[in-house]
Each structure stands twice: as structure tokens, then as C-alpha cells.
A and B are shown apart, each in its own frame.
Chain A
Amino acid sequence: MEQVNGHEITPFALGFMVVSMTSVTVLVVYCYARILRGGRQLHREADD
């Protein structure tokens, strides 16, 4: 793997990391936002 003097991160590695982490974070936020905004509760909760 491409290394930069043992103390840095290459632009490509940084790019992969940022894109990957952002993707899963956006997915998590999307799911929980949908649940909070309009998602229904389970039936027992609703019944209560």
C-alpha cells in the first residue's frame, strides 16, 4: 500500500475513508429520521 512517511494519510485513503464513513452515517440518519418523522410504533406500543 502507498505510504506517506509513516505519519500521514494519502489523499486516496482519506477519500475512501470519508466517502465510506459518510455513506453509512447518512444511511443511519436517513433511517432514524424516517422512523422519528413518520414511522409507526409496534402494535403493543400503539395499543398501550
Chain B
Amino acid sequence: MTLPPTRERWGTRVGLILAMAGNAVGLGNFLRFPVQAAQNGGGTFMIPYFVSFLLLGIPLMWIEWGIGRYGGRFGHGTVPGMFDVLTDRRKKWAKYAGVLGLFMPLVVFIYYTYVVSWMLGFSFFSLTGEYFGLGEVQQMRDFLGSYQNLFDSSVHGGWVALLFFLITMSFLGWVLSRGISGGIEKLALIGMPILFLFAFVLMVRVLTLPPAEASPMAGLDFIWSPEWSSLAEPKVWLAAAGQMFFTLSLGMGTIHTYASYLSERDDITLTGLSTGATNEFAEVVLGGTIAIPAAVVFFGVEGAQEIARGGSFDLGIVAMGVVFQGLPGPELLARLTGFLWFFLLFIAGITSAVAQASPAISFLQEGFGWRRRRAVRALMAIGLGIGLLHVVFYPTGFLDEWDYWAGTFGLVIFAAIEIVLFSFVFGIDRGWEELHRGADLQIPPIYKPIMKWVTPAFLYTLLGWWGVTEAVPQFLMEGKDPADIPYLWLSRAVMLVLLVAGLLLVREAWRRREGWSK
């Protein structure tokens, strides 16, 4: 069986690897990973981290590549169709379960693009020196807070965040409308080398900083010092497993869509491993060597600890904004360094956002026969329309609600479903054979029982743990400001509408498909 002639395809192998790596390398590599490592045992975090990479990340990644390429052979670019063919079209529920692979990337795309647009905004502010002169952490917090709040014009007019959101969304629309090879692949071929170049320059700059509150080496010590007792703590293992989902973009549906543009004779084992390795390099080598060590130099170990507790944006925007102002040398150079950092984050984000947008576009093309440009226009309209809710209601925690249910917990639910379908319904023997079709790399045989037993056990443990310790309190809105609760319910209602719309659209797409086949 070969690809239907109308389906798009990747142009080059390196383009595919960089696009997949672009999907995986995102804000989490440079902001979330160092914070997680620092909060979960330092150097010892890397033990559960690498165990998770080997037992959860790599097997799931290969499975997602395999499901994607397999679905693509039947003309399916999205998960509902892929789950349907995994069950040999015998289980009607499978395509509806696959709606998660449309819903979650769409939801994440909408709020993630808004966050990515902040990075574009701060790239611009760095070049113009807008925040230079705000040398205190609280001043930078106010600067960021005003940017994020449409109704706070103390620093920015509310329209500023909206403007950068519009620019980012327009740029994404332009790239996506140019197609897989002409748009997404070209963005990766240009963007990823720039990202790595900027990251190397920043890493060298941070490591050569003169000691202030502490030295850069003390910063590395802060991240990498082992806390042996943490190895016995379940939360550390689960934090490491969770980081795997974020960093490799697993459990979302984006890898599936990208892999569907391959033919059955194209390798996925070596190519998949290469993208995973590229992501790990960006995370462990580069991500761990920029933000936290820089923060330690300027704020000391205790100050950096406090900042890391405040979360990724406190570290990546607030603390780094103060750091750039304190860099030795001319201000112009400091501004340029700030630009490198925020634009690096913008590239990391934008190459992930195009992947998150792809399942919805592919679904509209294949399920309803829409042309790509029309599908992109529809998606951009939805993204802008619903994205405005995030712009307006951001201070209420509206976005965090989406980030938890779709961008965190939902990933594990989706992966828990797909691994059962792949290993037990489709069958691990057929799955193993499918992964090795056209393979340039023989997967070590130990991975066959790992995919069937170990990875599912790992996943369901993670799901159960998170369900009890996080999902229930989150659902009950424990610790939330009562004034925000109506907005949080609104946030959930919008997600529910999108989920129901996805289910109805899948039903309609299958009705049309059956009509065509008759």
C-alpha cells in the first residue's frame, strides 16, 4: 500500500528530523526542565529522568511514530482515523477516543500561541530597551503583570499583548498555509539551527559571567548537586515521568500527524530516536546551562531557589529580564543578549505551535475535503477568537485551567489509551513488525516486553498518582480565589464545547466517508 497521491509529504529526512525536533523542543526545555531538576533532587533527578526516557519516552515516541505512519497509509492524518484502523475498524468507540488527539493539540495551540507571543513581545522590548531601568525583581514582575493584564495600563496599554498575539498568529497562519514541505519543514530548517546557535552563544555567555552573588559554577552546582534521599520519593519519579511528556510532546497527537506524511518504506526507528536525542541535547545540555546558572550568579543560590519556586515565567522572563540589565559591558550588548534569549524561546515555541495546529488542519482537509488554505483560515479564526478569552481573562487563571487539563493531565490519559490500543488491541507482534518496516535501526528486543508491560504500568501508575494527588484538588478548585471561580468554570465550559464539537465533527466526517464509499 502506498500513500494516496493527494497527501502531502516531507521533502527531506533532515527537514523531517528538525520539524519533529522543533515540535519537541519548546519552552519546557529551557524553562521547565531546569526548574524541575532544581526542585526535585538536583543531580539525582537525572536518574529517574533517564529511566523515564528509556522506559516511557522512547517507547511511547516509537509507538506514536508507528501509529502515525500506519494511519497515513490509510489516508488518515489524525488520531481518530488512526485509532480506527488500529482496531481494524471494528471498534466504533476508537475513533471517538481519538478525538483527544484533535482536542488537546487544538486547546494547547490556542493558549500556547498566546504565551509564545509574549516571547516575541519581550524580544522586541529587549531590542528597544523597554524594560531596561527596571533592575528589581518586583519591578520586572509589575512590567510582566501589566503586559499580561489587558485592563492594567500602568506600564503597557492593554493592546500591546494583543498586538503581539495577532502578529504571532498571523505568522503561524502564513507558515501553515504554505504546507508541510513548503512551510513547516522550511521553518524548521531555518529556525532550528538559529535556535541552537543562540542557545550556544547564551550558554557560553552565562558560563563566562564574572561571579557576583555566586559564580556560574555555583549555579551548575545548584542544579546538579545530588540529594540522595529524593530517590526514594515517588513525587520525584513522577515529576521526571511528567517532564518526559512535555519535553517529547508525547500524548498529544502531533507526532502522529507529522509521521502520517511518511510512506511505509520510510524509516521511523532511527529517525524517531534522532529527534528524541536532539530534544534531550537541547534540554539537558543547553536548557540546564542558561537560566538557572544565570539566576544564581545574580541572585545567589537562595534567591534562585525562591525564583524557581515562583515557576517558569518568574525564571524565564522576570529573573532573566533583571539578569540582562546587570550584564557587564555596553547596554547595547546586554539588550542583544536579552533579544537572543527571548527570540530563542519564540523560535522554540513557534516550531511547537505549528505542530499543535497540524492535526486540526489535517482533519479538516481529510474529513471534509477542505483545501489547506481554507482549513488554516478556519483554524486561525478559531485560535484568535478563543485566544482572545485568554488575553482578556489571563489574570483569573483561565489559561492555567487549560494548561492543566489539556496540557498536563490529558496527555497521560491519551497516552494510556493509545498504548493499550497499540500493544493489546492492534497487538504487540503486529506493532513490532510495523515499527520495523523500512527501519534503519533494529530496536533492541528488550523493548518488546517493555512496550507491552513496563510502559503501560508506568503510565497507569502516573495516571493514578496524578489523579489522586493533583486532578481531584484541581477539579474541586482547592485553594483558588473565590472571585476567580466563575472564570475557571467558563474556562472549563469552553474546553467542553470544543471537546463536544470534536466528537460531532468526527461523527460527521465518518458519515461523509461512508457516503463517499457507497
Q: Which residues of A contact B (CB under 8 A)?
A: 1-4, 6-10, 12-17, 20-21, 23-25, 27-28, 30-32, 34-35, 38-45
Residues of B within 8 A of A35 (CB): 13, 17, 270-271, 274, 440
Secondary structure class of chain A's binding surface, majority of residues: helix
Q: Are A45 and B225 in contact (CB under 8 A)?
A: no
Q: Would you call B84 an interface residue if the criterion is a C-beta within 8 Å of the partner chain's C-beta atoms?
A: no
Q: Are B284 and A42 in contact (CB under 8 A)?
A: no
Chain B nearest CB, measured from A1 CB (Å): 4
10 contacts between A and B (CB under 8 A): A1-B42, A2-B225, A16-B42, A21-B284, A23-B50, A24-B280, A25-B281, A27-B281, A32-B274, A42-B266
Given known A-B contacts A42-B13, A42-B262, A28 and B277 have beta carbons under 8 A apart: yes
Q: Would you call B389 an interface residue if the criterion is a C-beta within 8 Å of the partner chain's C-beta atoms?
A: no
Q: Are A4 and B285 in contact (CB under 8 A)?
A: no
Nearest CB to that of A5 among chain B residues?
Answer: B218
Of B13, B46, B280, B441, which contacts A27 at CB under 8 A? B280
Residues of A within 8 A of B222 (CB): 1, 3
Q: Are A13 and B42 in contact (CB under 8 A)?
A: yes
Q: Which residues of B contact A (CB under 8 A)?
A: 9-13, 16-17, 42-44, 46, 50, 211, 213-215, 217-218, 220-227, 262-263, 265-267, 270-271, 273-274, 277-278, 280-281, 284-285, 288, 300-301, 440-441
Q: Are B218 and A6 in contact (CB under 8 A)?
A: yes
Chain A nearest CB, measured from B417 CB (Å): 29
Of A6, A15, A28, A45, which contacts B13 at CB under 8 A? A45
Chain B nearest CB, measured from A18 CB (Å): 9
Residues of A within 8 A of B278 (CB): 28, 31
> Which 6 residue pairs spanning A and B have beta carbons closest together?
A16-B43, A13-B224, A1-B225, A31-B274, A9-B221, A7-B215
Of A31, A39, A41, A44, which contacts B277 at CB under 8 A? A31
Residues of B within 8 A of A39 (CB): 13, 267, 270, 440
Nearest CB to that of B228 among chain A residues?
Answer: A12
In the assembly, what is the distance between CA of A29 and CA of B262, in Å? 24
Given known A-B contacts A9-B218, A42-B266, A3 and B301 have beta carbons under 8 A apart: yes
In the assembly, what is the distance between CA of A12 and CA of B50, in Å? 17
Residues of A within 8 A of B16 (CB): 42
In the assembly, what is the distance between CA of A35 and CA of B18, in Å? 14
Chain B nearest CB, measured from A7 CB (Å): 4
Q: Are A24 and B440 in contact (CB under 8 A)?
A: no
Chain A nearest CB, measured from B83 CB (Å): 26
Given known A-B contacts A6-B214, A31-B274, A17 and B13 have beta carbons under 8 A apart: no
Residues of A within 8 A of B213 (CB): 6
Residues of B within 8 A of A9 (CB): 217-218, 220-221, 224
Q: Are B217 and A16 in contact (CB under 8 A)?
A: no
- Across chains A and B, the number of contacting residue pairs, with CB separation under 8 Å, is 130
Q: Are A34 and B221 in contact (CB under 8 A)?
A: no
Residues of A within 8 A of B265 (CB): 43
Nearest CB to that of B10 among chain A residues?
Answer: A42
Given known A-B contacts A41-B12, A42-B262, A43-B266, A31 and B280 have beta carbons under 8 A apart: no
Residues of A within 8 A of B271 (CB): 35
Q: Are A1 and B227 in contact (CB under 8 A)?
A: yes
Residues of A within 8 A of B224 (CB): 9, 13-14, 16-17, 20
Q: Are B217 and A8 in contact (CB under 8 A)?
A: yes
Residues of B within 8 A of A14 (CB): 220, 224
Chain A nearest CB, measured from B373 CB (Å): 22
Residues of A within 8 A of B262 (CB): 42
In the assembly, what is the distance between CA of A24 and CA of B485, in Å? 44
Q: Are B285 and A21 in contact (CB under 8 A)?
A: yes
In the assembly, what is the distance between CA of A28 and CA of B288, in Å? 17
In the assembly, what is the distance between CA of A32 and CA of B277, in Å? 10
Residues of B within 8 A of A32 (CB): 274
Residues of A within 8 A of B284 (CB): 20-21, 24
Residues of B within 8 A of A20 (CB): 43, 46, 50, 224, 284
Chain B nearest CB, measured from A23 CB (Å): 7
Residues of B within 8 A of A10 (CB): 221, 225
In the assembly, what is the distance between CA of A38 and CA of B285, in Å? 27
In the assembly, what is the distance between CA of A36 and CA of B11, in Å? 17
Q: Are A17 and B43 in contact (CB under 8 A)?
A: yes
Chain A nearest CB, measured from B452 CB (Å): 24
In the assembly, what is the distance between CA of A37 and CA of B221, in Å? 38
In the assembly, what is the distance between CA of A10 and CA of B227, in Å? 12
Other than the given A9-B217, A17-B223, A39-B440, 13 more pairs (CB < 8 A) read A3-B218, A3-B222, A8-B218, A16-B44, A20-B284, A25-B281, A28-B277, A30-B277, A34-B440, A39-B13, A42-B9, A42-B11, A45-B11
Q: Taking each of B43, B301, B441, which has the highest tally of chain A beta carbons within 10 Å of its own beta carbon?
A: B43
In the assembly, what is the distance between CA of A36 and CA of B266, in Å? 15
Q: Are A12 and B226 in contact (CB under 8 A)?
A: yes
